Amino acid sequence: MVQLTQALAAILLATGAVAHPGKSINKDILRRQAHLDHPERRSVQSCKRGLVDSGWVREQHMRREARLHELRVAAGFAKPHELVRRDPAEAEASFGEAAACTLDPESTEGPYWVTGELIRSDVLTGEKGAITHLDINVIDTTTCSPVTDAYVELWGTNATGVYTGVQARGNGDGSASAVTTNALRGIQPTGSNGTASFITVIPGHYVGRTNHLHTIIHHGATKLPNNTIQGGTISHVGQFYVDQTFLAQVEATSPYNINTQAITKNANDMLFNMAKQGGDDPVMKISLIGSKIEDGLYATIDVGVNPKARQMPQPVNMWTEKGGIPVPNSPWTGYPDSCRYCGFGTRPPKEKRVDEARDAE
């Protein structure tokens, strides 16, 4: 067994995982712990020197400013000549610290990953909410350079906390209405600067979880003629979060404010707390494009990966022209009532993930 850190033990107690072992996601905690303990694990922070020296942090900072300005101009909140630049040295100094967005967690794909999604940047498909232009920067923490040939997959719930492409008792009201849309799901290549760009909404909350976006990083996948990807490997399975104070402001806007599902704050969300361990920061850096949330948001996050790592997330459904259809033998089928992965703690030994093998004993 791995040694649980004191902080992790505190999380287990605070979030009730110990009190309710039957429903717990202890296995995920152990997997995360094994990831943190792994001798080859490196965070984005450990690349600070290399990324600063190579000029990447400076370039990234300038691009972020330019992109936000571009969005402001497009929305009528600034004139083209009004770009005010902050000294990049500040960005270099603060890179990788708590306020910056560094991330290296291995988390769970959860019960609602739908494979076969489309390569597209704008994943709104008619969904309403706090429109968010999200840039995901992928960094190879083994070489401290941007990953330019990956596909980043992103999915999240709509503003009232329901996933598309899936019908399950735990997914909103459990109705079938969301199965026929692929809204808020998509895939983007990282491109020459290592950045995958999406337009989505801040996800809503749902029972048992704080607001979060899911991501999977694909390597070596082939683009098919119908704009989907096939094959390759997955190095990273993660989740992105929103600062709690800002989240409260988002939740007060329409249509978030009609979500009747119980709220779980970041501080009480076990997966959030796990993701914060080990110097990682899974919270997106978010700026207002205009003067209020309704004017749109610009968000960025840095994700550190080891491209050679092999994760084996399991999709519950596959997106087709007919909507989401079940993936045969998915261990998530029947979630949360009757499935092999129900409770997150029952994964059979034969399907162990690479990093999971380490905590088995």
Ligand X SMILES: *[C@@H]1O[C@H](CO)[C@@H](O)[C@H](O)[C@H]1NC(C)=O
**CA neighbours within 13 Å on the CB side: how many for 102?**
23
Burial class of 214 by CB neighbour count within 10 A (0 to 12, 13 to 18, 19+):
buried
160 or 273: CB nearest ligand X: 160
69 or 236: CB nearest ligand X: 69
Q: Least distance in Å: CB of 127 to ligand X?
A: 6
**Looking at residue 131, what DSSP letter applies?**
E
Helix axes 6-14, 26-37, angle to 10 degrees: 160
Q: Least distance in Å: CB of 160 to ligand X?
A: 4
178 or 275: CB nearest ligand X: 178
Q: Least distance in Å: CB of 291 to ligand X?
A: 23
Task: Say which residue the tokens 């401290």 belong to.
Answer: 144
- Chain position whose Cβ is nearest to ligand X: 191
128 or 308: CB nearest ligand X: 128
DSSP sequence for 292-340: SGGG-EEEEEEEEE-TT-------SEEEETTEEEEPTT-TTTTTTTS-T
Q: Least distance in Å: CB of 321 to ligand X?
A: 5
**Looking at residue 187, what DSSP letter applies?**
E
Backbone angles phi, psi at 331, to 5 degrees: -65, -10
Q: Least distance in Å: CB of 302 to ligand X?
A: 12
117 or 355: CB nearest ligand X: 117
Q: Least distance in Å: CB of 168 to ligand X?
A: 12
Strands 212-219 and 222-223, bridge-based pairing: unpaired
Binding residues vs ligand X (CB under 6 A) = 63, 67, 116, 128, 135, 158-160, 162, 172, 177-178, 191-193, 195, 197, 224, 226, 228, 255, 319-321
Q: Least distance in Å: CB of 324 to ligand X?
A: 10
Please, what is the Cα angle at 297 between 190 and 157, to 5 degrees?
A: 75
With beta carbons less than 8 A apart as the criterion, state whether 201 and 255 touch.
Answer: no
62 or 354: CB nearest ligand X: 62
Amino acid at 334: G
With beta carbons less than 8 A apart as the criterion, state whether 317 and 329 touch.
Answer: no
141 or 158: CB nearest ligand X: 158
Amino acid at 117: E
Helices (H), the chain: 6-14, 26-37, 48-53, 56-74, 88-94, 244-251, 270-275
Q: Least distance in Å: CB of 203 to ligand X?
A: 11
156 or 278: CB nearest ligand X: 156
With beta carbons less than 8 A apart as the criterion, state whether 184 and 176 touch.
Answer: no
